Structure 1
Amino acid sequence: MKLTIVLLALVGCVAAFSVPTSSKVKVADAAFLAKQKFLFEIVHRIEDPLMFEEYIKLGGNLIVNKSAYTEFDYYMEKFWEAYKVGALLPKGEFFGALVKTHHKQAWGLFNFFYYAKDFETFQHNVAWARINVNEGMFVYALTLAVIHKPEFEGITLPMIYEIFPQYFFNSKFVYAAEKFDYDVWSKYVMYEKEYKDIFYKDFTQYHNSPYFYTKDWKTWQWWKMMGLDEEFYVNDKFFLRENYAQFNKDPKYAEILKGVQAFYMPVDYTRDIDFFNSESKLSYFTEDLGWNAYWYYLNMDYAFFLDGKQFGLNKDRRGEWWIYNVQQILARYYQERLANGFGDIPEYFWYKQVEYGYDPQLIYYNGIGYSYRKNYFEYESYGKFDMLYQIQNFFDRIYNVLETGYYKTADGVVFDLHKPEAVKFIGNYLQGNVDTYDKYFFNYYYVLSHMYFADVDYYDYEVFPNVFLNFETMMRDPFFYTFYQKFTDVFYKFKYYLAPYTHQELVYEGINIKNVEVSKLVTYFDFVDFDATNLLNDKMTFVEGKYVWDKALLARQARLNHKPFNFEFNIVSDKVQKGVVRIFLGPKFDEFGRTIPLKYNSQNFVQIDSFVYPFVAGENSFKRSSKEFTWTAEDRITYTELYKYVMLASEGHYEFPLDISEPHNAFPDRLVLPRGWESGMPMQFYFFVSPYAEEYEQFSNFDYTYSSGVGSGTRFVDSKPFGYPFDRSVDEYSFFVPNGYFKDVKIYYHDTFAKYFEQKYANYGYFDYSVEY
């Protein structure tokens, strides 16, 4: 938890400098707390009927009086008509944000939320929708409204993996969590105690047997190293996360968790990866909750169907920002592939067999399992050739347009696509958003492509669950990275026609980076508790009308992390001036140990930080810590804890700071570095300083202590292209300038689990809270 919320974005292109810690943080008033409490309670146990009587009374009807809205549009009319004739997607059915029929209804529901003139109208509509609308559609529309409705600035919903754990945890855990019953669990512990006591008496004998102790282990099944089985355990210490010490120091923390019984179950990523295929070795990364949540919230912040002018998204260069994120995601994924001995992202697409299949082992909340793809799968076997040809035609058309160099729209407007500023057209086009420059040709292909790969036809209504139909699940599938390479291919084709930067364009006269020392880079797997209480199958208790939240259900998981690291800069400036320092991380060698030429390797660099520094004349020596990266977030405070804080504040016993939680769309700090090797994985940093001369100051249009600033136009450090100076083809002869500096480093992987193999674990059967990383 950072007590001052800052800007967020993917790998590094947003933040300018650390937010001043002395800034006064706003405290929630009674009206704010009432809204926050309502939102926390309305999504609680989303699969179950609404149990809060006050909201049931509010949700008797949808307000359709047009005077209650700032706008009453076509999609609202269609949504209301569909409801009246019983044509809405039924509750309990799978909702896909990228299913055309579902999307149109969700758009109408979102507008009922967004255009409400006051909170009373909004609250009535939300309560009505919670009772009457499909659960997935309801959460999707509500999330968009809370993010984009100006009067909700500072208000938050639980993270998407806390509202719908089914999208993020395998079916084995979901089934176990939904069957969890405290009384049965207590009996189980009592009945097993005598057996376990007998087992412990002869523990040494079993512990020394390699077969018994390791026969069923997978790579990251850490709980078996601690003698735990796949069942729930009482959490009698604290909610586990990397920054738990910050919470424990708060004197109110013990008070808010008083009376809460917490239980956790070990969860891993490995399941049956030994025999499915080798690509599944990367599941610890592709199925990481923070990794998938980042993509989800990026597409909520810049939803493809929201008008850029109306919602201020064009101020943030929405198309350019979206495709840059795609490029950075693929670059980060490639780094993780190299760390595991894999090479380039496979290029199968639609005309070849997809060698590596994928089984998500997810189950939707209606009990239906997600579709899986067998090894050596051919998408052409789906049929639907008209859809396939439309997608192929989309890519053929944009390649032809880029080769021609200009595009003439149906209404006669001509765009020159060989100029740098045309990146906004390319980005809008690739996202398929409503700001694309020719809606007649380009607006629909994005939804269509995801429908095709999920085997959904144009007008399908009730569809089988598929990871490709929702943003929060699609990055689990390795094929996501294969398909999205087609987007970056177009992006690189556009860049190909832009002249590389000349030496004169890149040099910053008067700035010379003498040296940058980098502390040791170490990655490891640590443990975290994710709040899965929404899965709890337990009676809800109310005392004097207040909900008693007395149980928390946690998924305890091992995940990739890194130790904090530092940069020590030594930069000489010939005068007093401000400069923007950008830091990139990229590979050094390919999977065969061959040096990757910078001309090609520039696509593999991930920007991990950027900030403004006030240089003095002469030598400038300063440090920059990974903890200062302003676009990243540490582990977020859980749903259970946030709700308890809000209730405590509502009773007047706590001042609720608006920045109590990490921002929803920040990139996970722990995923900045790839896994690395025990012997040290060769990588390289690139540091670049450019002039800072902007007409606006970052953060000027929003309060950075609790707002992410989406739509403000001042989220970013400057107006340079995202990824600058790697945003164009690299000419190595002109690229090496005094204000740029390459640094070779190694990333070391430390096996935190080794001690459980090598030594006797004295506290067998219990989680080791004393583990040191």
Structure 2
Amino acid sequence: MKLTLVILALVGCVAAFSVPTQKVKVADKDFLEKQKFLFEIFYRVEDPLMFEEWIKIGQKYTFDKTQYETFDFYMEKFWESYKLGALLPKGEFFGALVKTHHKQAYGLFNFFYYAKDWETFVRNVAWARIHVNEGMFVYALTLAVIHKPEFEGLILPQIYEIFPQYFFNSKFVYEAEKFDYEVFSKYIMYEKEYNDILYKDYSEFSDNFYFYTKDWKTWQWYKMMGLDQEWYVEDKYFLRENYAEFAKDPKYVEAMKGFQRFYMPVDYTRDIEFFNEESKLSYFTEDLGWNAYWYYLNMDYAFFLNGKQFGLDKDRRGEFWIYNVQQILARYYQERLTNGYGDIPEFFWYKQIEYGYDPQLIYYNGIGYSYRKNYYDFYTYGNFEMYSQIQNFFTRVYKSLESGFYKTADGQVIDLHKPEAVKFIGNYLQGNADTFDKYFFNYYYLLAHMYFADVDYSDVEVFPNVFLNFETMLRDPFFYTFYKKFTDVFYNFKYFLKPYTKSDLFYDGITIKDVTVSKLVTYYDIVDFDVTNLLNDKMTFVDGEFVWDKALLARQARLNHKPFEFDFTIESKVAQKGVVRVFLGPKFDEFGRVIPLEYNRKNFVQIDSFVYPFVAGSNTIKRSSKEFTWTAEDRITYSELYKYVMLASEGKYDFPLDISEPHNAFPDRLVLPKGWEHGFPMQFYFFVSPFAEEYEQFSNFDYTYSSGVGSGTRFVDSKPFGYPFDREIDEYTFFVPNGYFKDVKVYYVDTFAKYFEKKYEHFGTFDYSIEY
């Protein structure tokens, strides 16, 4: 984790320009034992548990109520379901948004969360690893580790390392599970294939054309770089942008000595079948970091957790969640524009969905994910009762917003035309446990996802569908279409709030004179993702200790950008603190027309914010994209972390608690849209507002290794998320000296062109000089 707090949100509104220096803590023996247990219990989770120590501990479940801080209804029902054989069987698809699955997972989570001590927790976890459905186990345990205060600082493998099947296409998964690292029998087969097909000689027809391109696939550029078989051993290093930080560390070299790495190139599903024009965006919608961000946001602010009990209400959970939805849609729209597409398609209750989606994923039990054909009609094929319920939820809230108030079942009247009502609207839209009328609004969100995945109220065994789990739903273009309904409600609420006046926005004494932005450049680089959990081999133990001596890695191209910088020139009449916010938005629509600001405000993504102590006079501020404290670089892999833990357990290494980027930070590489080779026009908006807060930021959590979820002191100020773009805009009053627009262009550089154009001088050798 960065030494400055990673703010863990697509909104940059909670970042700080600087934080007080704080010494990073080093893990003690007790912490390392806990960390080792978690890493081992997640290892190849779909396979039987092979660690003898945990097998022995997991033989008995702790049902003694005195061993728990509380023992609630969900725990009772979970235990009854187990005794009756009614739990979701192992090997079946688990959907976090399937009602029957959710209730069981909630009970299991409570058994983990309310355990009074570590021994009870370990016994329950080991038992569940042996007896409970794998997907449910991972979901419940991840929630418990994130939210249980005693576990602060413990690191879990990323969700794409635990279940690679959720993130990589079935072709890759099949190949990975068949992989035998000791027998390279495929080498000769692939050598022949590429000699016969890729390297056909057409010199008799042309002096300059030697490559067969009729069936060309994007992944074939690997072959141009010397990867002449699918599986291979490489003695260089893990590919990621921040690898140098580790490679220079002698302790890292010691930890990884003798460690074997096996790689396989993998592409996005767009290269297998071009399902419709939306498939062109799969490099973005199927990005692992993009999908993992949404997953962890919904784990941090799980809809069924009580806000007061878990402190989530302190973080303005509902408002924060719906603003993240709005920012995700805005970022997706920016990517659509760079590909020549326009607005996100609207969702109509009685209209066909034009764009289908085939995820080409396979669950670990071998069953493929459901797909949706083009021009699919949800209304005709769905459960009409459930459909009407979902529609009724939206109808009810629209009517409430129009009337301006809502009267709850217990007689409470809520004024919905006041700014503070945003918490009620946010909670309603998430369908969370804090919603203002549980009788009408609780769980509608869950039902909506069940409906679109064709799951009935009481279904237990269901077909895999991307809409039933947070880590897969952003892959589907329909996600963005349906979630526009959520933001439409949010904008409807904001419509009834008066636009900010000039006096509201004006910061006396502050004038932004100029902001210089360095060149914005995007490109594709390649990265290795740890998919060791797919390995189909025996496990080796020496003196009872697991020997983790090999890793399986998926090597994939992904969107990235070069670091860029801002140079601010800001004048201040007096010495004072201010909050600087930075937004990035489009300037033109898909037809090249300027988008009016009153509409375009919805398309701005807040990429940074920080507190700055202005001095009287001129202030020159340099700010690099590397300093964005809400983003994360590439994370250290599961395999590497385990090696570090074992080295520390032997007393040979001081394991720092900030060794890994936080689980829920937004990928730095996705801050900018892809852009165009000749420059995609966009605009920055910079805004400075007064800093005046009653609480001290980071005051009740250690920012070096904690994200502070539920602390109430994560945010730099109490302004609405997205301020000042959060309300309707009156252009006659919006422009103030402390706000500044800057036109820019985003340039895309094709780093792979040299391989296709035969300009790579080291043909047959992997190019480690490619941009990182």
Report the TM-score range of the alignment, normalised by the length of the smaller protein.
Answer: over 0.9
Alignment pair present for 1:16 and 2:12: no
1:127 corresponds to: 126
Structure 2, unaligned stretches of length 5 or more? none
Question: Contact 1:18/1:628 (CA < 8 Å) preserved in 2?
Answer: no
Residues 610-629 of structure 1: pairs in structure 2 closer than 5 A: 610-629=609-628
Question: Contact 1:92/1:135 (CA < 8 Å) preserved in 2?
Answer: yes
* Pairwise CA distance, 1:17: 1.9
1:654 corresponds to: 653
Residues 22-61 of structure 1: pairs in structure 2 closer than 5 A: 22-61=21-60
1:453 corresponds to: 452
Residues 477-488 of structure 1: pairs in structure 2 closer than 5 A: 477-488=476-487
More displaced stretch, 378-387 vs 78-87: 378-387
2:374 corresponds to: 375
**CA separation in 2, counterparts of 1:198 and 1:409?**
72
SS of corresponding position for 2:449: helix
Number of aligned residue pairs: give it.
Answer: 771
**CA separation in 2, counterparts of 1:504 and 1:199?**
69
What letter corresponds to residue 311 of structure 2 in structure 1? G
Q: Cα–Cα, structure 1 residues 571 and 685, in superposed 2: closer, same or farther, change >3 Å?
A: same
**CA separation in 2, counterparts of 1:39 and 1:697?**
33
1:751 corresponds to: 750
Give per-residue Cα distances to partners, 1:116-170, cap 9 Å, x unaligned. Answer: 0000000000000000000000000000000000000000110000000000000
* Pairwise CA distance, 1:213: 4.1
What letter corresponds to residue 260 of structure 1 in structure 2? F
Give per-residue Cα distances to partners, 1:677-735, cap 9 Å, x unaligned. Answer: 00100000000000000011211111000000000001111110000001111111100
**CA separation in 1, counterparts of 2:312 and 2:208?**
61
Residues 314-333 of structure 1: pairs in structure 2 closer than 5 A: 314-333=313-332
2:352 corresponds to: 353
**CA separation in 1, counterparts of 2:364 and 2:476?**
20
2:115 corresponds to: 116
* Pairwise CA distance, 1:5: 4.8
Of all paired residues, the percent bearing the same amino acid is: 80
1:559 corresponds to: 558
**CA separation in 1, counterparts of 2:207 and 2:356?**
38
* Pairwise CA distance, 1:203: 8.4
2:680 corresponds to: 681
**CA separation in 2, counterparts of 1:264 and 1:554?**
5
1:433 corresponds to: 432
Q: Cα–Cα, structure 1 residues 542 and 211, in superposed 2: closer, same or farther, change >3 Å?
A: same
* Pairwise CA distance, 1:7: 2.6
**CA separation in 2, counterparts of 1:604 and 1:175?**
40
What letter corresponds to residue 15 of structure 1 in structure 2? A
Question: Contact 1:495/1:729 (CA < 8 Å) preserved in 2?
Answer: yes
**CA separation in 1, counterparts of 2:495 and 2:228?**
55
Q: Cα–Cα, structure 1 residues 217 and 57, in superposed 2: closer, same or farther, change >3 Å?
A: same
What letter corresponds to residue 664 of structure 1 in structure 2? H
What letter corresponds to residue 600 of structure 1 in structure 2? Y
Q: Cα–Cα, structure 1 residues 189 and 121, in superposed 2: closer, same or farther, change >3 Å?
A: same
**CA separation in 2, counterparts of 1:558 and 1:635?**
13
Residues 142-153 of structure 1: pairs in structure 2 closer than 5 A: 142-153=141-152
* Pairwise CA distance, 1:204: 10
1:226 corresponds to: 225
**CA separation in 2, counterparts of 1:675 and 1:275?**
20
* Pairwise CA distance, 1:767: 2.6
Give per-residue Cα distances to partners, 1:207-226, cap 9 Å, x unaligned. Answer: 97757343333456642443
**CA separation in 2, counterparts of 1:156 and 1:718?**
29
Give per-residue Cα distances to partners, 1:162-206, cap 9 Å, x unaligned. Answer: 000000000000000011101222x44478779989999998969
**CA separation in 1, counterparts of 2:469 and 2:207?**
47
More displaced stretch, 250-259 vs 727-736: 250-259
SS of corresponding position for 1:309: helix
Question: Contact 1:144/1:300 (CA < 8 Å) preserved in 2?
Answer: yes
Residues 534-613 of structure 1: pairs in structure 2 closer than 5 A: 534-613=533-612
Give per-residue Cα distances to partners, 1:464-509, cap 9 Å, x unaligned. Answer: 0000000000000000000000000000000000000000110000
* Pairwise CA distance, 1:601: 0.2
Question: Contact 1:3/1:660 (CA < 8 Å) preserved in 2?
Answer: no
Give per-residue Cα distances to partners, 1:451-470, cap 9 Å, x unaligned. Answer: 00000000000000000000
Q: Cα–Cα, structure 1 residues 475 and 191, in superposed 2: closer, same or farther, change >3 Å?
A: closer
Q: Cα–Cα, structure 1 residues 311 and 375, in superposed 2: closer, same or farther, change >3 Å?
A: same
Q: Cα–Cα, structure 1 residues 333 and 105, in superposed 2: closer, same or farther, change >3 Å?
A: same
Q: Cα–Cα, structure 1 residues 486 and 202, in superposed 2: closer, same or farther, change >3 Å?
A: closer
* Pairwise CA distance, 1:747: 0.4
What letter corresponds to residue 441 of structure 1 in structure 2? F
Residues 469-484 of structure 1: pairs in structure 2 closer than 5 A: 469-484=468-483
* Pairwise CA distance, 1:14: 1.8
More displaced stretch, 258-267 vs 96-105: 258-267
Question: Contact 2:3/2:703 (CA < 8 Å) preserved in 1?
Answer: no
Question: Contact 1:234/1:264 (CA < 8 Å) preserved in 2?
Answer: yes
1:392 corresponds to: 391
Q: Cα–Cα, structure 1 residues 191 and 391, in superposed 2: closer, same or farther, change >3 Å?
A: closer
1:291 corresponds to: 290
What letter corresponds to residue 132 of structure 2 in structure 1? V
Question: Contact 2:270/2:279 (CA < 8 Å) preserved in 1?
Answer: no
Question: Contact 2:169/2:269 (CA < 8 Å) preserved in 1?
Answer: no
Q: Cα–Cα, structure 1 residues 221 and 409, in superposed 2: closer, same or farther, change >3 Å?
A: farther
**CA separation in 1, counterparts of 2:613 and 2:241?**
32
* Pairwise CA distance, 1:765: 4.3
Question: Contact 2:187/2:229 (CA < 8 Å) preserved in 1?
Answer: no
1:402 corresponds to: 401
* Pairwise CA distance, 1:3: 4.9
2:304 corresponds to: 305
What letter corresponds to residue 631 of structure 1 in structure 2? W
Question: Contact 1:230/1:266 (CA < 8 Å) preserved in 2?
Answer: no
Question: Contact 1:634/1:670 (CA < 8 Å) preserved in 2?
Answer: yes
**CA separation in 2, counterparts of 1:198 and 1:221?**
14
SS of corresponding position for 1:748: strand
SS of corresponding position for 2:157: coil
1:421 corresponds to: 420
2:698 corresponds to: 699
Give per-residue Cα distances to partners, 1:28-83, cap 9 Å, x unaligned. Answer: 00000000000000010011100000000000111000000000000000000000
2:79 corresponds to: 80
SS of corresponding position for 1:595: coil
1:738 corresponds to: 737
Length-normalised TM-score, structure 1: 0.97
**CA separation in 2, counterparts of 1:209 and 1:389?**
63
Question: Contact 1:5/1:662 (CA < 8 Å) preserved in 2?
Answer: no
Q: Cα–Cα, structure 1 residues 463 and 202, in superposed 2: closer, same or farther, change >3 Å?
A: closer
SS of corresponding position for 2:682: strand
SS of corresponding position for 2:354: coil
More displaced stretch, 343-352 vs 114-123: 343-352
Q: Cα–Cα, structure 1 residues 65 and 579, in superposed 2: closer, same or farther, change >3 Å?
A: same
2:719 corresponds to: 720
* Pairwise CA distance, 1:760: 4.3
What letter corresponds to residue 700 of structure 2 in structure 1? N
Q: Cα–Cα, structure 1 residues 574 and 74, in superposed 2: closer, same or farther, change >3 Å?
A: same
Question: Contact 1:4/1:659 (CA < 8 Å) preserved in 2?
Answer: no
Length-normalised TM-score, structure 2: 0.97
* Pairwise CA distance, 1:422: 0.2
**CA separation in 1, counterparts of 2:5 and 2:473?**
28
SS of corresponding position for 1:182: coil
**CA separation in 2, counterparts of 1:195 and 1:425?**
61
1:521 corresponds to: 520
Structure 1, unaligned stretches of length 5 or more? none
What letter corresponds to residue 384 of structure 1 in structure 2? N
Question: Contact 2:74/2:104 (CA < 8 Å) preserved in 1?
Answer: yes
Question: Contact 1:684/1:743 (CA < 8 Å) preserved in 2?
Answer: yes
Q: Cα–Cα, structure 1 residues 765 and 368, in superposed 2: closer, same or farther, change >3 Å?
A: farther
* Pairwise CA distance, 1:762: 4.5
More displaced stretch, 757-766 vs 371-380: 757-766
**CA separation in 2, counterparts of 1:441 and 1:195?**
61
Alignment pair present for 1:158 and 2:157: yes
* Pairwise CA distance, 1:274: 5.9
Q: Cα–Cα, structure 1 residues 174 and 194, in superposed 2: closer, same or farther, change >3 Å?
A: closer
SS of corresponding position for 1:12: coil
Question: Contact 2:169/2:361 (CA < 8 Å) preserved in 1?
Answer: yes
Give per-residue Cα distances to partners, 1:257-276, cap 9 Å, x unaligned. Answer: 11211011111114456641
